[in-house]
Every structure is written in C-alpha cells, then in structure tokens.
Amino acid sequence: MDAFEIAEQVKSRAGFTPEVGIVLGSGLQGLSEEVEVVQRISYDSLPDFPKSTVEGHKGEYIFGYIDKVPVVLMNGRVHYYEGYPMSAVVTPVKVMALLGAKTIILTNASGSLNRDFRPGTLMCISDHISMFVPSPLIGPNDDRLGTRFPEMSQVYKRDLRALLHETAEEEEIKLVDGVYIQVTGPSFESPAESRMLATLGADAVGMSTVCEAMVLNYMGVNVLGISCITDMAIDNEDLQVTHEEVQKVAAEAGKDMVRLIRKTVVKINK
C-alpha cells in the first residue's frame, strides 16, 4: 500500500480531519496526556507500515483535540538506523499530511554542538543540514505529492517560528534558535565527529526530523521544529551519553515543551 491508500484507511477508521499534526520525539510523550482523545490507531494495525523497534518509542497515531483544535499526534516515529529505507521512514508523516494536517510540528531530542546550549534547553529549529543521510525524495517522483526539485529556502516557516518565540516569551520559557543536523546513528558521535559537525554550522545533532521536514516541505506543509537538547555532544571527551539519560532530560525539559506546544497550537489555529 502506498501512503495515499494508508491515509484512506486511517481516515475511514479515525473519521477525523486534523488541522495540526505533531510528532513526539524521545522522552516527549507527555503531550499525549494533554489531548482529549477521540481515537487511537496503532502502527501495528496498519498494512505496510514501519514499526518502531526502539525502547521508549511507542507506535500509534492519536486523534483528538488540544484546546478544541483538531490534532493528530504521532506517538513514536521510526528511524533510519532501524533498517528501513528513508522512503519508509517518512511514510507516517506523509500520511499525516494526506489526512489534511496543514501544519506539522516535529519534535526531537538532540545533542548540543553549541557550548551555549546546555542540556534542558529548547531550540527552535531555524534550518537544517541533511547531507549526512539519504534524501527521502530519492526514487521516482510522485507528482501528486510534489515537484521533482523542491526548493528549500524556508522549510521551518518564519511566521510559525515567530509565533513559537512569542509564546515562549509569554510563558517565560527559554527558547533559542539553531541549526539541526541529522546523522544516521545509532551510535552517538565521537569527539572528532562532534567538532566536525559544529564546524559545518550545526548547533544540535540528532537521528531524525530532517528527513520528515524535507518530505513535508515538498508536500507544501508548514513545518515547525523544536529540539530538546539533552546532552553535550561537543566537548564530550569525558562524557558518556546514554539513551536513558537522553530520555530522562527530555522528559524533564519536555514539560516546558508540552506547555509551549499547547499554547502555540491554539495560536496556529486562529
């Protein structure tokens, strides 16, 4: 089944048209508790759908309302390092776009490449570097979704970023702007790799999001990206980061992220 057929199936089961889609990254599942749930659809129940194999990543769509705004959440995503081709990794976000979500908020946990961005900091993704992972757009182009050579000048929409910053100020949540770089993982970076990525202009490194943002930009969806910095990837000669630590820091800082997203979603829908 292609993304269109999967979306048709999801649509008939959910009976719901979301306005905003939100992808919940590692440790950031708290937002799912803020949703007035209408329907849950597990990835397992969908044909030809990639399943998350990572601990701490669930696999379900949650349909419902956040302060009366119809939303769909991706509670869990799949990653390239799990062994799926990049075209399959982006199927779940493609389906959200095909369900009608005009704005999609991507969240993740990341390692800092910027000495001023300490663990616990929330970063609004201003731009990205994709060159260390294969493009999700490689292969025959589906003209129903987008053009062969999509432009990329403003993947993370300026007006959405301004809205996020405005909300962060109102809520007294510290929010920085930065460039996110996607690598394949699953290993974390060596000190020399972190220095290289910082030299290339990235502020944070992670194993997701950019491929999703690329395919959504191609489909004409408005993208907003928020990264929760969970560890120092730079200067990590004497630091041994673990998946558990990433999840713990994300769960803590994620409380601010939940509030930030909740208030921003209402503004997006105005």
**What does the binding site for ligand HPA look like in residue numbers (CB under 6 A)?**
109-111, 188-189, 205-207, 230-231, 233, 241, 246
The nearer residue to ligand HPA, 27 or 64, going by C-beta atoms, is 27
The nearer residue to ligand HPA, 4 or 132, going by C-beta atoms, is 132
CB of 183 to ligand HPA, least distance (A): 6
CB of 156 to ligand HPA, least distance (A): 19
The nearer residue to ligand HPA, 110 or 222, going by C-beta atoms, is 110
The nearer residue to ligand HPA, 239 or 266, going by C-beta atoms, is 239
CB of 188 to ligand HPA, least distance (A): 5
Give the C-alpha distances (Å, rounded to integers) separating 26 from 23, 159, 243: 10, 26, 9
The nearer residue to ligand HPA, 219 or 246, going by C-beta atoms, is 246
Q: Which residue is nearest to ligand HPA (CB)?
A: 111
CB of 26 to ligand HPA, least distance (A): 7
CB of 32 to ligand HPA, least distance (A): 20
